[in-house]
Structure 1
Amino acid sequence: MSVDAATVRRIAHLARIAVRETEVPHLEGELNAILAFVEQLSEVDVEGVEPMTSVIPMEMKKRADVVNDGGIPDDILRNAPQTQDHFFLVPKVVE
């Protein structure tokens, strides 16, 4: 895949990046170099290689999925401007 000047301008527009016309040829070369490297990676034989999340084997830390009130509901309610019956009180916004 090759990137031309029009594609560079389109990418810059989509990314909301201001690119001067004098920068377009340089960016075109940079993007083509990146894509060439990605194409090189597709040539690597990865048959039988397991995906990994780290260079050293390790287990992901997990916690129990338990619903609770955090143990400090009174502290949390103290942050609210208004409360009623141990709930946040908010102004009515829909009639």
Structure 2
Amino acid sequence: MSLTPDDVSRIAHLARLELRPDESASLLGNLNDFFEIVAQMGAVDTAGVEPLYTPLSAIQQVQLRLRDDAVTESNQRELNQRSAPAVEDGLFLVPKVIE
């Protein structure tokens, strides 16, 4: 995939960027280089390769430090809803904005 100067102008417009001509030309080269690398990576055969959850697991055994899935905070719904203008059955009531 190769971008054109028109593509860069469109991307800059969508991102609300104002680019000078020299910046636009530099960005065009950088983006095309990026897409070339992505194309090279996409061409690699990864069939049968297990995904890694961290790059470190490719070179050493990594033990995940997971915490127990336990409730650590009390229910503070009433306290949090005290400042609300309208509450019903534990739910915030808001004015209807769409007819």
TM-score above 0.5:
yes
Q: Greater share of helix residues, 1 or 2?
A: 2
Q: What are the within-5 Å matches in structure 2 for residues 34-73 of structure 1?
A: 34-55=34-55, 56=57, 58=64, 63=69, 70-73=74-77
Q: Among all aligned residue pairs of Structure 1 and Structure 2, give the percentage whose two residues are the same amino acid.
A: 31
> RMSD of the TM alignment (CA)?
3.5
- Superposed, 1:14-93 pairs within 5 Å as 14-55=14-55, 56=57, 58=64, 63=69, 70-78=74-82, 80=83, 82=85
Tell me the amino acid that sits aligned with residue 79 of structure 2.
D
Task: Return the TM-score normalized by structure 2.
Answer: 0.62
Paired residue total: 89
TM-score between the two structures when normalised by the length of structure 1: 0.64
Q: Any stretches of 5+ residues in structure 1 without a counterpart? A: 65-69
Structure 2 residue matching 1:23: 3-state secondary structure: helix
Once the two structures are TM-superposed, the CA of residue 87 in structure 1 deviates from its matched residue by 5.7
CA distance in 1 between counterparts of 2:75 and 2:65 reads: 28
- Preserved CA contact (<8 Å) 1:77 1:86: no
Change in CA separation of 1:81 and 1:33 when aligned onto 2, cut-off 3 Å: closer
CA distance in 2, matches of 1:42, 1:91: 49
Unpaired stretches in structure 2, ≥5 consecutive residues: none
